[in-house]
Amino acid sequence: MAKKRGNNEGSITRRPEGRWMAQVTIGRDPATGKPKRATFYGKTRQEVADKLTKALRDKQQGIFVAPHKLTLGEWLDTWLWEYKQPTLRPLSFDHYETVIRRYLKPALGHIPLQDLRPEQVQRYYNEQMQQGFEASTLRHHHVALSQALALAETHTLVARNVARLAAPPRLTRKEHRTLTVAEVTTRLLPALKTHRLYAAFLLFVSTGLRRGEVAGLRWQDIDGQAAVLHIRQALVRKKNHAIGRTELVAQEPKTAYSRRTIPLPDICQAALRHHRAQQAEEKLRLGPGYTDQGLVFCGANGAPIDPGTLDRAFSKALKRAGLPAVRLHDARHTYATWLLEQGVSPKVVQTMLGHSSIRITMDVYSHVSLDLERQAAATLNAVLTRGLQ
């Protein structure tokens, strides 16, 4: 016969085979709202009573951990596939999946989840840094591990999130090499002039679009009369986990700020008209073999173009022009730098780039903002000097 216990004190019963069992409610399942109970077994009533007493004390102190045999690797998989996949965009999910599969699980996945210690996480960060990983990359590892352990803590699978007690490497901001107006107009664009996607590269340096935004641009997104283009989708390469291969997919802009309208300079409109005429010739030449998907920039047969193809063409053009090897994404930095140097409001630059906050814009282009601040200080100095004369 079980001894009667008070509310929230748990229960102790004897099972038919003779073992004793204690149970206590430890919270509610956030998914179902139903009570979650921890169960303990023992050969004697005193044994399970002691376990129950400890569990109640730990629960009161906020350090209770439900008994389980999960490894860190098993929990990372559960966190990724059951909790993150339904909410993440495909590229973000692929990023987390790669970090967990290639790095966190091989190094730490075998450790029982309850036994993971801060120094083990710290050692992982230190070893990865010694192997040449950049601090920014390891920050992504830290985010994945910390979020997974935070959820484990919520579910009382661990007493604390030990990732919070480790120190990921500090980020150091890199200055991006930007091209000057002269380098772009007299060397880069002439090197790209004969490329069938010349208009795409002109858009990069004159609108600051992202690679996927250019690759996903459709003719219906361009308003020639209003001289604007609308960013409504981006083309990205994501992994199809069902078949184990990557594929190109169109997806909506990541944020409301990324969905934007950008004015088209006259030089871009002229290049786009020439490009459309060239595309019409390709359609006629290929006939039924051409698959028209309405894309502005595509393969000669109408198929979507991989953003990586644009990267390679850009790199070759830089080499031909004798320019430094910068990333295609740095054309976006070049565009923003030009605008800021011309005195365009940072708020306007933020909107045109599709940044979610002006802080991101000014953090990335801090070297330009410092120049603008110096100009402002010089202007104020001139006003004060005149006033004191």
Domain end marker among 304, 327, 350: 327
Hey, what amino acid is at 161? N
Q: Is residue 200 part of a domain?
A: yes
One domain, residues 277 and 190: yes
- On whether residue 386 sits in a domain, the answer given is no
Within this chain, do residues 160 and 250 fall inside the same structural domain, yes or no?
no
Mean pLDDT of the region 42-46: 90
Flag whether 230 is in a domain: yes
> What are the pLDDT digits (tens) for 191-234?
999 999 999 999 999 999 999 999 999 999 999 999 999 999 99
Task: Please report, for the domain that includes residue 215, its CATH number.
Answer: 1.10.443.10
What's this model's pTM, rounded to 2 decimal places?
0.71
Amino acid 384: pLDDT = 74
177 vs 45, residue with greater confidence: 45
Burial class (CB in 10 A: 0-12, 13-18, 19+), 314: buried
The verdict on residue 320 lying in a domain is yes
Same domain, 185 and 127: no
> Do residues 126 and 43 share a domain?
no
The verdict on 282 and 193 lying in the same domain is: yes
Query: Tell me, what CATH number does 82's domain have?
Result: 1.10.150.130
Residues 90 and 53 in one domain: no
User: What's the total number of domains in the chain?
Assistant: 3
Q: Are residues 191 and 319 in the same domain?
A: yes
- Same-domain check for residues 104 and 82: yes
pLDDT, tens digit, for every residue of 202-211?
A: 999 999 999 9
Same domain, 190 and 315: yes
> Is residue 329 very low, low, confident or very high in pLDDT (cuts 50, 70, 90)?
confident
Are 8 and 25 in contact by the 8 Å Cβ rule? The answer is: yes
Q: For residue 322, is it within any domain?
A: yes
- Of 295, 327, 359, the residue at which a domain comes to its end is 327
Q: Which of 105, 131, 165 is the last residue of a domain?
A: 165
Which residues are annotated as catalytic?
210, 239, 329, 332, 355, 365
Same domain for 197 and 290, yes or no, is yes
In angstroms, the CA 87 to CA 329 distance is 27
Residue 40 belongs to a domain: yes
Average pLDDT, the chain: 87
Whether 312 maps to a domain, the answer reads: yes
In this structure, are 191 and 310 located in the same domain? Answer: yes
Please tell me whether residues 201 and 307 are part of one structural domain: yes
| Residue 308 belongs to domain spanning | 181-327
CA distance 278 to 301: 12
- Give the pLDDT of residue 373: 63
Evaluate whether residue 260 is within a structural domain.
yes
Q: What is the pLDDT of residues 121-154, one digit of tens each?
A: 999 999 999 998 999 899 999 999 999 999 998 8
